[in-house]
Chains A and B, each alone.
Chain A
Amino acid sequence: MGIDVFGLIALLVFVGLLLLYGVMGRRWPAVFRPMPGFEMLGRGIERAVEAGERVHLSLGTGSVPGKDCAPALAGLAVLSRVAAATTMSDKPAVVTAGDGALAILAQDTLRAAYAKVGARERYQPTAARMLGPTPFSYVAGLPTLLASEDVSIHMLIGSFGAEGALAAEFGERREAFVLAGTDDIPSQALMYATAEHPLIGEEVFAGGAYLNVGELHRASLRAQDVVRILIVGLMLAGTILRTLLDLL
């Protein structure tokens, strides 16, 4: 029987930190660095609701059975917050995905958000939809969606490839507020050039903490910081040890 001890220890440490910060979060509040994208997102949503414009959230072109589902789950956490803010708007938020399972999860999240604010009757199943099964077919459907739905807040929080830059550019052409983030590194570089507010690195996973979705979201950020520091320390230690070993 093989046991991946190191992996198990790392997992337990992570879980422990997560629970610890989740419990002690209120007594020991954390201060996160400012992220202009999320800060301006709130104001942008308020303005869009007042102006009768729509908020669009894209969950990316990744699929659920895969690691590219993680940023999409982060996008769903942001969706729960955004949907609650736009339920009473004339034009509630619309969610798109490049995967059928993600579209269904988006529908569930929307339904829960509407039920939470007591506006269950305003929920429309077509508010969450799959634009296309492939990345470029998904992007090809975006311009029509942005134009027909009068989108003024364009959020891309999910797994995107190079087509993410196109998706961000379509929002920029409409002079919409574009907040774009993905887990793919080259696509992040492309989004940095095309999006107004790019999310670099793991900032795409920080949306839940910055939008106050839950205490565990904030605890997650803090646990990630601790584990990252541990990894950096281990890397430095390993580098030094390896160098010394080579020298010796």
Chain B
Amino acid sequence: MADIRCPMCSQLNPEGAEVCAFCSARLRPLLAGGPSADAEAGEPESGEADWLSRIRSEAVRGEPSGEPPPAEEGAPDWLSRLRRAEAEEEGPPVGEVPTWVSEAVEPAAPAPAEVAPAAAPDVPDWLARVRERKAAEGVEAPEPAPESTDDDWLGRLRAPQEEQAPAREAPTLPEILRPPPEVAPAVKPTPGSLPSWLPQPPAAEEEAADVSPPLPSTPWEPPSRPIATPFSRGPVAPPPAPAWPPAPETPAVSGPPDWAQAAPELAQPAELEGLAHVPALLPEEGTPFLPGESGDFDLDSVHLPEWLSEVKAPAAPSKPPTEEQGINLAPATLPAWLEAMRPMETFRPVVEIQPEEEQMVEAAGPLAGLRGVLLAEPVMAMPRQTDIGSTRLDVTERQYAHAEFLHRMVQEEERELPPAAAARRRIPLTRWILSLVLLVAVALPMTVGLPAFAVPILGPPDLNPFIGRINTLPTDRPVLLVVDYEPGYSGELESVAGPMLDHMVARGLRIATVSTRPSGPPLAERLLVRAGVDAGYQNGRDYLHLGYLPGGPAAVQLFAENPRQAVPRGYLIPAELTSRSGWESPMLSGVSALRDFGAVILITSGAETARTWIEQASPRLGDVPLLMVLSAGVEPMVRPYYETLNPQVDAILAGLPAAAAYENANGRPGGAQSIWGGFGSGVFVAEITLALGAGYGLLTALLSRRRA
């Protein structure tokens, strides 16, 4: 069994159901004599407040009874009172009539000839015109219904027309609830048959020209082609044309409309004679709800406004002109500039309006019986499935590629990347090879003795003055040895200072050391132990370490001014000396200032240190010579102090070649000569490396230029 889908809530109901179980809407339209109508007639609705369904059921049952149906709970009283309306009655019930209406009606009653459209300020114009017409036609105004006794205004409306209206037959189903059959022949109203407030038929059109605007002259015609909606599965038959409004060219002059005739209670006042008959909106007892088959409502009897009458019915689709007919119509062409503005993808909805007769008649819902109704079921009531075509997109290759790329990017973002492996380090081959070569070159002469480099005999020009200064140093005054170099330079400076210390030891000079670096005293100890061990030099007697001089250049200045106060504590002070500074040692007994020393010899690897001692100590030395033992790289910085007209440095000894020559002059091989071979081969390898590097760089530059 196929289920029925409710037109209201789209819920599925059993096949035999008449009313929706979910929303109580009718599943089958009420048809006269139809099974559903009969079934509905046999199924009274109980406990339902749906007044419309009740009306329908009454119409189906054909209750001719004038007895008003029992008032149902919740049903408005005016509805029940409406059902009791008499045909002769006109106007709304007293209780329901607005006061302005009752006031407007009362003055017209005693004097129908009187026209008082403006008697009451709130009387609408149409009512005033009704009264005027009544007065003009001498129709007795209806008795003003008592306000609280008679509220059947519909019946009063129909009362004047009772004479003209034949007895109504047994009430049938209201037109609105019936399936739209063929269009009922319009009953054209006669002039004067319609109430004055309705537009008159063409015959009385002149008198009632100001009643209402004319209706369009041509009736609405349904489209000749089926209407295709976006949500339809196919062309839908257009609903049949509604039965109204009628064309004014064919006014009905046969008499009063059927609905007026079917409403005997409706009393037509005198002034309403000749007016178009408009059926009541709500059916009276025994009267159809809408004039349909009864012909109460005749489209032709309704005077259409002018604006409606001017609208011509669309011409019937005529055959395209053929060549035989001799009509040549060139298809419409757009100008080029307009054609160029046409969008590439234009949505051209094709809406084909079917002719009225092909349109489907609405079968359910409040619009049952009407044609041309937008179908609710395919859109609202029933779930729709989109066409396959609508889900298909036209994607270009480029768009597809972009979409794929975006998809990959999103996936990449979500994907957890494994930790990147550490990049494999490049092997520094050049560095390793050069290091190995240098190591071998330096180690070979010191171990194997090859290659052998001859020790220089002649030293640099600065060597002899230095040796001469050492030779002229007084032996009764100690020499101040400033050890100001880092341990890293000990390899060079111990070799360079070695022959000088040997010379000093050989002359028996007493040596006092001081340093502005924390590592200076231990380095001084190394120097003196190496130089004096063979000569039996003793700490405290032959040499003494004054210690560490903190404070940098400021401390040097302080030491230069007052050495005893600048250095509070010595280094490796012998136990026999009570003071910790060493100044009470016998070898320093006559020393209280810098000039009391026999000489100041600075061993340093930094030009700044040399400059500091030169600038701070030299002004306070007097005739005391200042000698410098320097690293090879510092010599150019210090030489100007030596070669100036008033030299502040009396002699310099710099570099391993000078030290090797000094040892030669001493006749005692020392550290300089022991490393002379390694020094020579290392320098040789460095020379080769520089030459090779320069050559390689030039070659690559030339090759790259040629390629460019």
Residues in A lying within 8 Å of B, measured CB to CB: 63, 65-68, 133-136, 161-163, 173, 184-186
Contact A136:B553 (CB < 8 A) given known A68-B608, A186-B633? no
Tell yes or no: B637 within 8 A of A by CB. Answer: yes
B554 partner residues in chain A, CB cutoff 8 A: 65
With a cutoff of 8 Å between Cβ atoms, the chain B residues found around residue A66 in the complex are: 552-553
- Can you identify 21 A-B contacts, CB atoms within 8 angstroms? A65-B552, A65-B553, A65-B554, A66-B553, A67-B553, A67-B612, A68-B608, A134-B487, A134-B518, A134-B519, A135-B488, A136-B487, A136-B488, A161-B605, A162-B488, A162-B605, A162-B633, A173-B428, A184-B606, A186-B633, A186-B634
The contact of A67 among B517, B608, B637, by CB within 8 Å, is B608
Which residues of A have CB within 8 Å of B519?
A: 134
| Complex Cα–Cα for A124 and B552 (A) | 31
| CB 8 Å contact bits of B487-524 with A (1 = contact, 0 = none) | 11000000000000000000000000000011100000
B637: chain A residues within 8 A (beta carbon):
185-186
Please indicate the chain A residues that have their CB under 8 angstroms from the CB of B518 in the complex: 133-134
Q: Give the contacts of B88-128 with A (CB-CB under 8 A).
A: none
Q: Does B35 contact A (CB under 8 A)?
A: no
Chain A nearest CB from B595 CB (Å) reads: 20
Contact of B607 among A134, A135, A173, A185 (CB under 8 A): A185
A65 touches B605 (CB 8 A): no
Inter-subunit contact A161/B552 (CB<8 Å): no
Residues of A within 8 A of B487 (CB): 134, 136
How distant is the Cα of A149 from the Cα of B286 in the complex, in angstroms? 102
Q: Which residues of chain A are near B561, meaning CB under 8 Å?
A: none
Quote the shortest CB–CB distance from A228 to chain B (angstroms): 19
CA distance A13 to B48 in the complex (A): 112
The answer on a CB contact under 8 Å between A135 and B552 is no
User: What distance in Å separates the Cβ of A71 from its nearest Cβ neighbour in chain B?
Assistant: 11
Q: Which residues of B contact A135 (CB under 8 A)?
A: 486, 488
Which of B428, B553, B606 is A161 in contact with, Cβ under 8 Å? B606
Cα–Cα distance between A70 and B488 once the two chains are bound (Å): 25
Q: Are B607 and A184 in contact (CB under 8 A)?
A: yes
B552 / chain A contacts, CB cutoff of 8 Å: 63, 65-66
Least Cβ distance of B466 to chain A in Å?
22
B16 interfacial contact with A, CB 8 Å? no
Please name the residue on chain B nearest to A69 by beta carbon. Answer: B552
B181: Cβ under 8 A from any A Cβ: no
Contacts of B551 in A (CB 8 A): 65
Closest 6 interchain pairs by CB? A66-B552, A186-B633, A136-B488, A65-B552, A66-B553, A63-B552
B553 contacts which chain A residues (CB < 8 A)? 65-67
A63 to B608, CA, bound (A): 12
Bound-complex Cα distance A135 to B633 (A): 17
**Which residue from chain A places its CB closest to the CB of B554 in the assembled complex?**
A65
Binding site for A on B (CB under 8 A): 428, 486-488, 517-519, 551-554, 605-608, 612, 633-634, 637
Chain B residue, CB-CB nearest to A64: B552
| Known A65-B554, A67-B553, A134-B519; 15 more pairs at CB < 8 Å | A63-B552, A66-B553, A67-B608, A68-B608, A134-B486, A134-B517, A134-B518, A136-B487, A162-B633, A163-B488, A173-B428, A184-B606, A185-B607, A185-B637, A186-B637
Which residue, A65, A66, A68, A173, has most C-beta atoms of chain B within 10 A?
Answer: A66
Q: Within 8 Å CB of A184, what residues of B?
A: 606-608
Cα–Cα distance between A33 and B50 once the two chains are bound (Å): 97
User: What are the residues of chain B within 8 A of A67 when measuring CB–CB?
Assistant: 553, 608, 612
Q: B607 contacts which chain A residues (CB < 8 A)?
A: 184-186
Chain A CB within 10 Å, residue with most, of B554, B606, B607: B606
Closest chain-A Cβ to B176's Cβ sits at a distance in Å of: 77
Contacts A67-B553, A184-B607, A184-B608 given; does A161 touch B634 at CB 8 Å: no
Bound: A220/B120 CA distance, A? 102
Chain A: minimal CB distance from B278 (Å): 83
Docked CA distance A134–B517 (Å): 9
A7 to chain B, nearest CB (A): 13
Closest to A136 in B: B488
Chain B residues near A185: list those with CB within 8 A.
Answer: 607, 637
Whole-angstrom CA separation of A186 from B634 in the bound complex: 7
B432 to chain A, nearest CB (A): 13
Which B residues lie within 8 Å of A162 (CB)?
488, 605, 633
B486–A136 touching, CB < 8 Å? yes
CA A65 – CA B518 in complex, angstroms? 15
Cα A159 to Cα B586 in complex, Å, equals 41
CB-CB under 8 A from A133, the residues of chain B are 518
- B486 contact set on A, CB distance < 8 A: 134-136, 161
> What is the CB-to-nearest-CB distance from B496 to chain A, in angstroms, rounded to a whole number?
16
For A139, give the chain B residue with the smallest CB separation.
Answer: B488
User: Cβ of B605: which chain A residues have Cβ within 8 Å of it?
Assistant: 161-162
Residue of A nearest to B645 (CB): A242
Closest CB of chain A to B634's CB: distance in Å? 7
Q: How far is the CB of A205 from chain B (nearest CB, A)?
A: 16
Q: A204 CA to B488 CA in the complex, in Å? A: 26
Please measure, in the bound complex, the distance between the C-alpha atom of A196 and the C-alpha atom of B75, giving whole angstroms: 100
- The minimal Cβ–Cβ distance linking A44 to chain B, given in whole angstroms, is 20
How far is the CB of B635 from the nearest CB of chain A, in Å?
10
Q: CA of A67 to CA of B519 in the docked complex: distance in angstroms?
A: 20
With A and B bound together, what is the CA distance between A184 and B428 in angstroms?
Answer: 30
Inter-chain CA distance A162–B554, complex, in Å, is 24
Q: Which residues of B contact A186 (CB under 8 A)?
A: 607, 633-634, 637
Tell me the minimal C-beta distance from B542 to chain A in angstroms.
29
Smallest CB gap from A133: residue in B: B518
CB neighbours of B517 from chain A (8 A)? 134
A133 to B608, CA, bound (A): 18
How distant is the Cα of A67 from the Cα of B606 in the complex, in angstroms?
13
Instruction: Tell me, in angstroms, the Cα distance from A242 to B634 when the chains sit together.
Output: 28
Alpha-carbon distance A184/B634, docked complex (angstroms): 10
Most chain A Cβ neighbours within 10 Å, of B551, B552, B554, B612: B552
Interface core residue of B517, B519, B607, B633 (most chain A CB under 10 Å):
B633
Contacts of B608 in A (CB 8 A): 67-68, 184
Closest to A183 in B: B608
> Could you say which residues of chain B place their CB within 8 Å of the CB of A68?
608
* Chain A, residue nearest B516 (CB): A66
Q: How far is the CA of A134 from the CA of B634 in the complex (A)?
A: 19
Question: What is the CB-to-nearest-CB distance from A245 to chain B, in angstroms, rounded to a whole number?
Answer: 12
| A173, B432: Cα distance in complex, Å | 13
Nearest-neighbor residue (CB-CB) of A186 within chain B: B633
Q: Distance in Å from the Cβ of B504 to the closest Cβ of chain A? A: 27
Tell me the bound Cα distance from A134 to B552 in angstroms.
14
Within the complex, the shortest CB–CB distance from A114 to chain B, in Å, comes to: 31
Measured between C-beta atoms, what is the minimum distance from B202 to chain A in Å?
Answer: 89
Bound CA span A135–B637, Å: 21
Smallest Cβ distance from B419 to chain A, in angstroms?
Answer: 15
B586 to chain A, nearest CB (A): 34
A226 CB to closest chain B CB, in angstroms? Answer: 25
A225 to B487, CA, bound (A): 39
In angstroms, Cα B608 to Cα A185, docked, is 10
CB-based nearest A residue for B615: A67
Question: Complex Cα distance A173/B608, Å?
Answer: 29
Contacts of A65 in B (CB 8 A): 551-554
CB distance from A170 to the nearest CB of B (A): 13
